[in-house]
Amino acid sequence: MRGMMRAMSVETPETTGQTRTFTTIGVVGLGTMGAGIAEVFARNGYAVIGVEQNDDGVERGRQHLTNSTGRAVEREKMTEAEQAELLGRISYSTSLKDLAEADLVVEAVVESMATKKAIFKELDTIVSPETVLATNTSSLSVTELSSATSAPGRVVGVHFFNPAPVQDLVEVVRTVVTEPSVLTDVQALLGTLGKSPVVCGDKAGFIANTLLFGYL
């Protein structure tokens, strides 16, 4: 794929010489946003595991991805071969347990704190201690969400804007306990996607929505 960037290791001073490697990305929720996020990572060479609650949800997510990449082929933004290669990097599941080997999991389900907390609580028992847990929430408290895990320091907000494959801005939401290495590594990872990460604090509306509310 034109401009394809391979999955890469990210080294930062905060990791004290260790390398955090991102190769497999989990995406929980394959609605419009989740499917778009999955496409962004697959487009840039990462293996993606998309998880939905049932087979119908998986099929809807698959259709989102097929239609989105199909439009890119029609506009000559990619070839059919490149589309097939991209879609081939994405696998699907109805079980969070299949995310056990993921290096980063991005949750993109409905804006319900209870639902998101339940997912993060379960993920906490499945993924490795080094796995970064991220939420795509646009308004809920990332700090409160992180309290559902045993290691809130590895939880961060990663708010993509719709449509994720097109919009460059991504809000990276830090809590007071987010580990500096997690914050730095996630920013570097987003850079490999061609995105423009902007770090903000965990307050209502983050940056973009706060500005929008004021304007309205």
Residues 199/172, Cβ–Cβ less than 8 Å: yes
Exposed e or buried b per residue across 176-213, where buried means at least 16 C-beta atoms within 10 angstroms of its C-beta? eebbebbbbbbbbbbebbebebbbbebeeebbeeeeee
Out of 44, 68, 136, 138, the active site residue is: 138
Out of 64, 107, 146, 159, the active site residue is: 159
Confirm whether 64 is a catalytic residue.
no
Question: Strand ranges (DSSP E) for the chain?
Answer: 9-11, 19-21, 24-28, 47-51, 90-93, 104-107, 132-135, 155-160, 169-174, 196-201
Could you give the maximum distance between any two Cα atoms of the chain, in Å? 47
Residues 124/150, Cβ–Cβ less than 8 Å: yes
Confirm whether 209 is a catalytic residue.
yes
Confirm whether 159 is a catalytic residue.
yes
Out of 64, 171, 179, 181, the active site residue is: 171
| Positions marked active-site | 138, 159, 171, 209
